[in-house]
A and B are shown apart, each in its own frame.
Chain A
């Protein structure tokens, strides 16, 4: 990508009283990108976001926004705006006063405020609620106020701190689509912090997975899901069957490995003979059958240990050997699904060697 980065984070570290929250992070966020910082709670993603907003100072490293070093710039002078996890809608101000606040305090002429207020409210579909007070709004509406309030400032980067975590599931999915639409309409770079991988995968153009203050992998959602760079990412994103394995030697093409409970098989890829690696496969790539599968696939026979019903499909857990469990999905394509397996049944699971992910880290 040749476009210059809108946000450039160079070797940023943040320590709180000796605890390292963000550990030497370098990152580039491109213009008009929907970028997600994904990780478990306490991984440092919110601290990183707060450093972009200016609420925390980096202990080391530099943050540049649109080419300008942000170190001496206080939060109120940065070309970024934030949507807070609690929304932080001002309780004593009406919707209109809340949204216009950022223009009013910076001395924008009244004649300019009115049309921009109207546009901002229309953008988040709050037109007609100008005079409502925050305690008369639903959680979703309050969030729209927080969004409009930030967007009206026309920031170069919009920061969103777990913006959907307080909403119920249905509303959350709606807002996910809405945020993507909004980002597309306004053409502003969005940086969202989330611990919800579904949220990150469905919304973001690129995702940085963080853990213990470090970035493990930065990639588009598809790449992150299909080609995780390490065990941690593989485990954190989606569900994964992970088998510890040992490389026996080179095969033609690829390598020959042996995993406990699966036996020996051949895989595409490269790894030195004798090394310990991880072999992973996504559950949706695993086929479940009562008969032995065709040749060429990695196949193993086991008993159904557990079936978890989710309505549209079930998670089926197969015990191939003691302590070796393989999860796969069974879609319920018919209302009278006679093919459904039951607990205790003996079944075959199989998958294509090309669907295996080789994890050397």
Chain B
């Protein structure tokens, strides 16, 4: 019986969705991954290349990591990026979370319009955002010659403007699964509105908050276009600095710096993805 049915199975043609049984589909999959990731892999590999010109593999070295580390203006740009990312993340997390709560909890006139407006900074081309912010800061006469870190203000403001909608969307999605009866139960058991928010609503929001914050952070860290338009000569960020270095030729130093940025971004993204499915582990252990 078993043999017979196995033979029948083997004779059957692979269905349209049985990707694993079609060789050419598997090849296609591999090709796709090569197309996507080969440039990045090459970038990382060549960051260890012992050659000034970044074309032929000459041997392994960490020299360019060291040189990047010694490059004072590169480190300064990196520090700027981190400070901007932290500030922009903190501000956009608060604004985004409050917006998400308002949209989740209340019904008010103009709510659909506001929901649409929240997604707007996400769909507007970055270049337009950049130009708009540049025009805005020029028009309002935003003070420029401020001491560090106050001179980062325009960049932080620009980053907040495109980061907080992502936070709002992530937190909103998280709250969609929240049972309103939990808040009522808390009130019923004697807790006030603030106590209920702190002890019941906030803990439920937390994975969404962290995921949203990390998302905002990665977006802020590697943003180029908007930063380019809002930064001055004193306020280079890491991506903008890398861009200016590339203009004088792509040395392994640029590769090394980029590799570090990729590593930071990947780590943050992985954490964000982990946190977005928080109950999974608890359920499987039950």
Kindly state whether residue A322 has any CB partner on chain B within 8 Å.
no
A133 CA to B285 CA, complexed, in Å:
11
Closest CB-CB distance, B184 to chain A, in whole Å? 6
Contact B204 A55 (CB under 8 A): no
User: Restricting to A85-100, which residues have a CB under 8 Å from any CB of B?
Assistant: 85-86, 88, 90-92
Q: Closest 4 A-B residue pairs measured CB to CB?
A: A102-B189, A88-B181, A88-B185, A105-B191
Closest CB-CB distance, B67 to chain A, in whole Å? 48
Contact B190 A84 (CB under 8 A): no
- Candidates B182, B195, B286; contact of A90 at CB < 8 Å: B182
Inter-chain contacts of A153 with B (CB < 8 A): 189-190
Binding site for B on A (CB under 8 A): 53-55, 74-77, 80-82, 84-86, 88, 90-92, 101-102, 105-106, 133, 135-136, 146, 149-150, 153
Given contacts A135-B286, A136-B286, are A88 and B179 in contact (CB under 8 A)?
yes
- Candidates B181, B190, B200; contact of A76 at CB < 8 Å: B190
User: Restricting to B239-286, which residues have a CB under 8 Å from any CB of A?
Assistant: 279, 282-283, 285-286
Kindly state whether residue B144 has any CB partner on chain A within 8 Å.
no
Kindly state whether residue B112 has any CB partner on chain A within 8 Å.
no
Kindly state whether residue B4 has any CB partner on chain A within 8 Å.
no
Contact A135 B282 (CB under 8 A): yes
Contact A133 B190 (CB under 8 A): no
- Chain A CB count within 10 A is highest, among B185, B191, B282, for B185
A92 CA to B279 CA, complexed, in Å:
10
Closest CB-CB distance, B194 to chain A, in whole Å? 11
Binding site for A on B (CB under 8 A): 179, 181-182, 184-192, 195, 199-200, 203-204, 279, 282-283, 285-286
A101 CA to B279 CA, complexed, in Å:
22
Please report the number of residue pairs spanning A and B whose Cβ atoms sit closer than 8 angstroms.
Answer: 73
Contact A81 B184 (CB under 8 A): no
Closest CB-CB distance, A116 to chain B, in whole Å? 13
Contact B179 A105 (CB under 8 A): no
Known A84-B184, A105-B192, A106-B190; further 20 A-B contacts with Cβ < 8 A: A53-B188, A55-B187, A76-B190, A77-B190, A84-B185, A88-B184, A90-B182, A91-B279, A92-B203, A92-B204, A101-B186, A105-B186, A105-B190, A133-B282, A135-B286, A136-B286, A146-B185, A149-B185, A153-B189, A153-B190
Given contacts A92-B203, A135-B286, are A84 and B181 in contact (CB under 8 A)?
yes
A353 CA to B204 CA, complexed, in Å:
63
A54 CA to B190 CA, complexed, in Å:
12
Contact B189 A81 (CB under 8 A): yes
Contact A102 B184 (CB under 8 A): no
A81 CA to B286 CA, complexed, in Å:
30
Closest CB-CB distance, B160 to chain A, in whole Å? 29
Given contacts A88-B182, A91-B204, A105-B199, are A76 and B282 in contact (CB under 8 A)?
no
